[in-house]
Structure 1
Amino acid sequence: MNHVFQKCGIALLAAVAFAASAGTPQPRSLQDTIAAEDRAVFDSFNHCADPMQLQAHADHFAPDVEFYHDTGGVTWTRESMIENTRKHACGNYTRKLVDGTLRVHPIKDFGAISQGTHRFCRVDTGACEGEAEFTMVWRQHDGHWQVTRVLSYGHRPNPAAP
């Protein structure tokens, strides 16, 4: 009889432990974390005609961010990068990540590198005419992620555009 109580007790403890772990949020993978950060950066970019969204977009970048754009040149600060975004993109273009292209690589004791392909779509027509590759270096500090370097290159017509 004592063995029956032991088995029931073990089963009960296992059930309680399982129930407790089911309610505890599990840490996301680095891929999931950076994918969520990418969505947040570009959700604010896609709505940056609103000054509050432009500020939200800016907050994703380090003050000394370097942005390398193959057709637009280089900016060396968040302020100049955001000014270019405000002038050339906000209200004109939105960005879409091409499904299945986001790759994330850890950087020991620093953060991560993300790479992928994105398309740019005209706000007025919705046509996604342009496509490019990107690489972003992300720094994690005190649980907060910021982009420190951006490369946007290989700009070309979208092969899927009509």
Structure 2
Amino acid sequence: MSKRIAETLLACLLLWPLAGWTLDWDALKPEEQRVLAPFREQWAQIPEARQQRLREGAARWRQMTPEQRAALKARFRRWQSLDPEQRARIRERYERFRALPPEEQARIREGYRWFRNLPPERREALRERWRSMSPEQRRKVIEHRKQLHERWQRMSPQERDAARQRLRDRMRRSPER
């Protein structure tokens, strides 16, 4: 019987980290408690994986400059102002993005950086142009863009440079595009 008890205790000790037990609030460092204070009341009910993500976020917060913290607070206020359906749509899009291959994620990020670097009036003009398109027109634009991307990937560096120059020349001739 004592061998069975010992085996049970050993199994409990080995499986303990997998059981999802959470870290006690008092075990947090004082600076972690300060940053995570809004979660104090429900801390014991938060799953271990989420507690760990919150602790990692608190560590990043402590490393931020005051400007970075202010920008993050503003983004959080915007997030909180969204209605539940908007948040759900954003979460769904994020999950679909995370399911994409890394190359596709990188391509999307690059497109986003390009868009963010445009002057505000150009960004708004592109948004308005997109909004005015029918779903079929949007689908065609997306398909065309994929084809261009595939063609770009097959180009040599010299061909890419020439294509960039042609695009710059075309943009100078008709900047409204």
TM-score (norm 1): 0.29
Query: Whose helix proportion is higher, 1 or 2?
Result: 2
Query: Whose strand proportion is higher, 1 or 2?
Result: 1
TM-score (norm 2): 0.27
Largest Rg, 1 or 2: 2
